[in-house]
Amino acid sequence: MSIENKVVLITGASSGIGEASARLLASRGAKVVLGARRDDRLRQIAEGIEEDGGQAAWRKLDVTDPQQNKDFVAFAKERYGQVDVMFLNAGLMPSSPLSALKTDEWDRMVDVNLKGVLHGIAAALPEFTAQKSGQFITTSSVAGLKAYPNGAVYGATKWAVRELMEVLRMESAMEGTHIRTATIYPAAIQTELLNTITDKGAKEAMNQTYDSYQITPDRVASVVAFAIDQPEDTNVSEFTIGPTIQPW
């Protein structure tokens, strides 16, 4: 399997999709490098992976800081000698109507959901270009495919991620650098995203949706593993994943 021995860097790895992906990929032989702001959780997850026979390292990471992203990639290369996959998974979803004018939250979403992805690309792209191989995977959202009330800014950041990944794939093909990209569009997945919502009406509506439909993050992790496990000459670009019973 092509997952085995690959060095996979994961942002937003302290919970949810990031944690589930780290555990699954490590169980299949990947060397995972975990990044997030909660270093206590990263340590706990990495120790659990190693206790189960896997290989894991961790480093505290704020994706909004360009230098921390570069240091994260350098740390992974120093630890394992190479960098094969960058899973740009960190994100925030403080949904609210535009009329609420929660501009501080708008800025945070742009900083994490969009600029955080750009910083991750900038950190890993030179390595991938030099070795003429590598893969970027990003977590977008079904809100990156269609519009939802209360999700204008969140959706805008996720639409932007879709554009970034597709152009990166095209440019890599044109430049002969063999970099693969995959974008994942989750619907209601059990994560901590809802904890960032401060608008009362938006939070109540989202809680009702998730309570009715959500599936566990390991369902997304299996898609991440599928994308990585494809032959190096094969790119699978986009995956929409959500509960069968949710009319998203």
Residue 1 has pLDDT above 60, yes or no: no
Whether 154 is catalytic is yes
Nearest to 131 by CA among 20, 30, 232: 232
Decide if 80 contacts 7 (C-beta within 8 A): yes
Residue type, 30: A
pLDDT tens track for 130-153: 999 999 999 999 999 999 999 999
The two three-digit tokens of residue 60, written as one number:
């505290």
Mean pLDDT, to the nearest integer, of 107-116? 98
The CA distance from 209 to 201, in Å, is: 13
The CA distance from 47 to 51, in Å, is: 6
What band does 40 get if pLDDT is binned at 50, 70 and 90?
very high
Residue type, 147: A
Q: Which residues contact 235 (CB under 8 A, 6 or more apart)?
A: 169, 180, 181, 182
Of the listed 80, 154, 185, 213, which one is catalytic? 154
Q: Please, what's the b/e burial string for 211-248 (b: 16 or more CB within 10 A of its CB; e: otherwise)?
A: eebbbebebbbebbbebbbeeeeebeebbbebbeeeeb
pLDDT tens track for 211-225: 999 999 999 999 999
Which segments of the chain does DSSP mark as H helices, in order? Answer: 16-27, 39-51, 66-80, 103-109, 116-131, 152-175, 200-213, 218-228
The CA distance from 177 to 135, in Å, is: 11
Annotated domain spans of the chain: 7-240
Mean pLDDT, to the nearest integer, of 188-194? 91
CB atoms near residue 171 (< 10 Å): 11
Mean pLDDT, to the nearest integer, of 19-33? 98
What band does 193 get if pLDDT is binned at 50, 70 and 90?
confident
Strands 179-186 and 7-11, bridge-based pairing: unpaired
Q: What pLDDT, on the 0 to 100 scale, is given for residue 2? A: 86
Nearest to 187 by CA among 110, 111, 239: 239
| CATH code of domain 7-240 | 3.40.50.720
Decide if 20 contacts 193 (C-beta within 8 A): no
pTM for this entry: 0.96
pLDDT tens track for 47-75: 999 999 999 999 999 999 999 999 999 99
